[in-house]
Structure 1
Amino acid sequence: MTQDRPLTPDETARVVELAHHFAREGMTDELTGFVDHGLPADVPDPDGNTPLMLAAYHGHAATVAALLARGADPDARNHRDQSPVAGALFKGEDDVVRLLVGAGADLDAGTPSGRATAAMFDRLELLGP
């Protein structure tokens, strides 16, 4: 993040923790403020979850759209090889799935893949033609 002095490791950890909290809660303005001031859009938590993954899983379409507009990777997978689109499908977040598919999410990536998750929940129509 841009400022007069570099953040200490503890401060950096707190900023990342707050960013992930904002993503889980759909606090788009707060999160994008961090990203717009230098926090990488794909900063992972200790489990490898990015803000996009957390926002997608919790159904925050506006936050997902804002992160995608700021370059977040729709295919960034966590340490369990889960993708944002598979998480959104699992949670039944249709609007988020459409955003991720529209952003070019790889439907065959991850474990289980987005395509496999959609088939499991009979939601293949969300994946497009």
Structure 2
Amino acid sequence: MTDESMQTPAGQGAASTGFTRDQVDALFLNAAREGQTDLLARFLDAGMDPNLRAEKGYTPLILATYNGHLDAARLLLAKGAAPDQQDEKGATALAGVAFKGDMPLARLLLENGATVDIPNAVGRTPLMFAVMFGREDMARLLLQAGASPSLRDGEGQNAVDLALRQGYTVLAQDLRKADTASA
């Protein structure tokens, strides 16, 4: 899409509204961050890219999910947002919701094809984040979706090691069982 063909949600070209392309992009990304689904829909209907990458590599889907906006995430996915895009540190939307423990968003991402074991830049997977932050229900959901408890991060730790380090002995046992069941 060119700057000349860019349409704002009000249906006017960017130049006629006085907004630069960077300002329009920022407004679009903020609508995702704030969960303003109606405004987000208008931006998308006007041709905004659902996979636009912002500072630090954040996408509208990463911003919407990290901030807990289920309806915005649902809209973005319906309009073509890729669930596995990674930010500059390698985090995906699923990693963010695993860290936060947002089960409905995790289910939505998984239902829309999110890959369960994408590691970030230091090798941590969504399962590892769920374990590190005591999100036991999330860890179990990710295991059911096929997450591997045996993958190791950049420090050589796997999900079982992380659970034990955090004092989650029951979760560590469940992770071991899941690992042996998948072997």
The two structures have a TM-score, normalised by structure 1, of 0.88
Q: Percent identity among equivalent residues?
A: 35
Deviation, structure 1 residue 116: 2.2
Q: Is the 8 A contact 2:101 2:130 kept in 1?
A: no
- Structure 1 partner of 2:127: 115
2: CA distance, partners of 1:84 / 1:37: 24
1:12 maps to amino acid = R
The two structures have a TM-score, normalised by structure 2, of 0.64
SS of the residue corresponding to residue 55 of structure 2 reads coil
The partner residue of 2:24 within 1, 6, 15 is: 15
Stretches of structure 2 that go unaligned for 5 or more consecutive residues are: 1-5, 146-183
The alignment covers a number of residue pairs equal to 128
Q: Is the 8 A contact 1:53 1:83 kept in 2?
A: yes
Q: Classify 1:118/1:45 alpha carbon distance in 2 versus 1 (closer, same or farther; 3 Å).
A: same
Stretches of structure 1 that go unaligned for 5 or more consecutive residues are: none
2:139 maps to amino acid = L
1:84 maps to amino acid = A
Deviation, structure 1 residue 52: 0.2
Deviation, structure 1 residue 117: 2.1
- Indicate yes or no: 2:72 matched with 1:67: no
Q: Is the 8 A contact 1:43 1:50 kept in 2?
A: yes
Deviation, structure 1 residue 89: 1.1
Deviation, structure 1 residue 5: 5.7
Deviation, structure 1 residue 93: 1.3
Greater relative CO (CA pairs within 8 A, separation 6+) = 1
1: CA distance, partners of 2:29 / 2:114: 21
The partner residue of 1:125 within 130, 136, 140 is: 140
1: CA distance, partners of 2:116 / 2:103: 15
- Indicate yes or no: 2:115 matched with 1:96: no
- Indicate yes or no: 2:68 matched with 1:42: no
Higher Cα radius of gyration: 2
